[in-house]
């Protein structure tokens, strides 16, 4: 029988959708009833937005749970989880709300399902304020799989702001337990590659200009590596709406991955988009960590669930990461220690070690 409700204040720290994602995923996994109050209280449009609602409904459906108060603009929800089951589940933000954020909330849950899952996620694949789907596939996937599971991500259609309309299918099998990870050794950068894309009515020249500007920018700081950024015209049948953007990945000798990315907006010239992505990548390479600032917070829930001690080395710890740690400690009772890196080469840098004693979550169905 379910225990007392976990009470979560949705207005603290990051104060946004992330609190909802972390707390409902952990509630679902641990079978703990949850109440979240003051949801996005400080935001310009407080309460649930369409993408938050579709994430909550998806978690509810994954475990046949009960969800109350879940409507657009609502600032309080209660959620009572039941048993996580596999199978086919669909979530549609009906907007350009990010499919990657839907994946973030559902993935830890279906790892502990009774059978394999297929998630059909609809919305924006390359949306502002969220990881681009290319980031999820090129950076998040290879690193998160170090926890000891595999998933397949099939991009059916790409969708852009403001309409969305993208679709991604994620397939994965459940695991008995997650392994801890140890990402401490950065190695040296061995290659830099990426893709600059245009979709819809935008001319191919925009993709070439973004790529060229990004390469020029990286060249100023990293001279001895070939930088391979492919300009891509998205096929008409695989993209909905108009969009342009770029993602650049740096890979190191120890298999660490870092990214910089940027999306085009109306009236912003292509060079500027390319340079923004390049500068983000370079900033992420300067701090000496083994993960970039966007991967940092996405690994916290997995570290909390793993069986043993996980360590990652990062640059400055982001508010998103602090928020994820706070709720992983409060709800899952994982233990985190964040300390400044002692290594000589990190002495001059803002480098931290995030260590977690995971709870060793075991899949009751396997």
Q: Is-contact 204 223, C-beta < 8 A? A: no
Residue 194: CB atoms within 10 A of its CB come to 27
Q: What angle do CA 325, 328, 332 make, to 5 degrees?
A: 160
CB of 111 within 8 A of CB of 25?
no
294 known ligand binder: yes
Q: Which residues pair with 335 in a beta bridge?
A: 357
Determine if residue 297 is labeled as part of a ligand binding site. Answer: yes
CA dihedral for 228, 234, 239, 244, sign (positive or negative)? positive
Q: Coil, strand or helix: which one is 88? A: strand
CA dist., res. 48 & res. 231, Å (int):
37
Closest C-alpha to 133, from 108, 107, 102: 102
Non-local (6+) Cβ contacts of 22 within 8 A are: 300, 301, 323, 324, 327, 328, 331
Tokens 């949801």 found at: 39
The strand pairing partners of 67, in sequence order, are 79
- The full length of the chain comes to 366
Q: Evaluate whether 352 touches 340 at the Cβ level (below 8 Å).
A: yes
DSSP class of residue 13 equals T
The active-site residue out of 52, 89, 320, 326 is 320
Q: In degrees, to the nearest 5, what angle opens at C-alpha 133 toward C-alphas 127 and 137? A: 160
* 212, two tokens: 């060229």
Q: Does 295 show up as a binding residue in the annotation? A: yes
Is 230 marked as binding a ligand? Answer: no
Burial category of 342 from C-beta neighbours within 10 Å (exposed 0-12, middle 13-18, buried 19 and up): exposed
Is there a catalytic annotation at residue 326? no
Exposed e or buried b for every residue in 229-259, given b needs 16+ CB within 10 A?
bebeebeeeebbbbbbbbbbbbbbeeebbbb
Residues annotated within a binding site for ATP: 104, 294-298
Catalytic positions: 320
Residues annotated within a binding site: 104, 294-298
């Amino acid at each position: 029988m379910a225990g007392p409700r976990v009470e979560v204040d949705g207005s603290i720290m990051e104060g946004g959708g992330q609190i909802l994602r972390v707390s409902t995923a952990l509630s679902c996994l641990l079978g703990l009833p949850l109440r979240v109050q003051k949801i996005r209280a400080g935001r310009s449009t407080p309460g649930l937005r369409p993408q938050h609602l579709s994430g909550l409904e998806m978690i509810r459906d994954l475990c046949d749970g009960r969800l109350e108060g879940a409507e657009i603009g609502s600032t309080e929800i209660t959620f009572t989880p039941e048993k996580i089951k596999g199978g086919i589940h669909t979530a549609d933000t009906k907007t350009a709300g990010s499919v990657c954020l839907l994946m973030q909330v559902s993935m830890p849950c279906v790892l502990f399902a009774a059978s394999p899952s297929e998630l059909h996620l609809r919305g924006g694949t390359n949306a502002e304020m969220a990881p681009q789907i290319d980031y999820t596939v090129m950076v998040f996937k290879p690193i998160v799989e170090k926890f000891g599971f595999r998933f397949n991500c099939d991009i059916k259609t790409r969708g852009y702001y403001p309409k969305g309309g993208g679709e991604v299918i994620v397939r994965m099998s459940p695991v008995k337990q997650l392994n801890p990870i140890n990402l401490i050794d950065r190695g040296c950068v061995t290659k830099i590659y990426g893709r600059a894309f245009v979709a819809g009515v935008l001319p191919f020249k925009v993709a070439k200009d973004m790529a060229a500007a990004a390469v020029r920018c990286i060249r100023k700081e990293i001279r001895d590596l070939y930088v391979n950024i492919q300009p891509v015209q998205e096929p008409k049948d695989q993209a909905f709406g108009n969009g342009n953007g770029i993602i650049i990945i740096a890979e190191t000798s120890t298999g660490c991955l870092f990214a910089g990315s940027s999306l085009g907006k109306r009236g912003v010239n292509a060079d500027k988009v390319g340079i923004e992505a390049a500068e983000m990548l370079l900033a992420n390479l300067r701090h000496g960590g083994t993960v970039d600032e966007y991967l940092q917070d996405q690994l916290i829930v997995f570290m909390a669930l793993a069986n043993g001690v996980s360590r990652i080395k990062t640059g400055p710890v982001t508010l998103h990461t602090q928020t994820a740690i706070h709720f992983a400690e409060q709800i899952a009772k994982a233990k985190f220690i964040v300390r400044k890196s002692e290594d000589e080469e990190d002495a001059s840098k803002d480098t931290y070690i995030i260590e977690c004693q995971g709870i060793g979550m075991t899949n009751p169905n396997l």
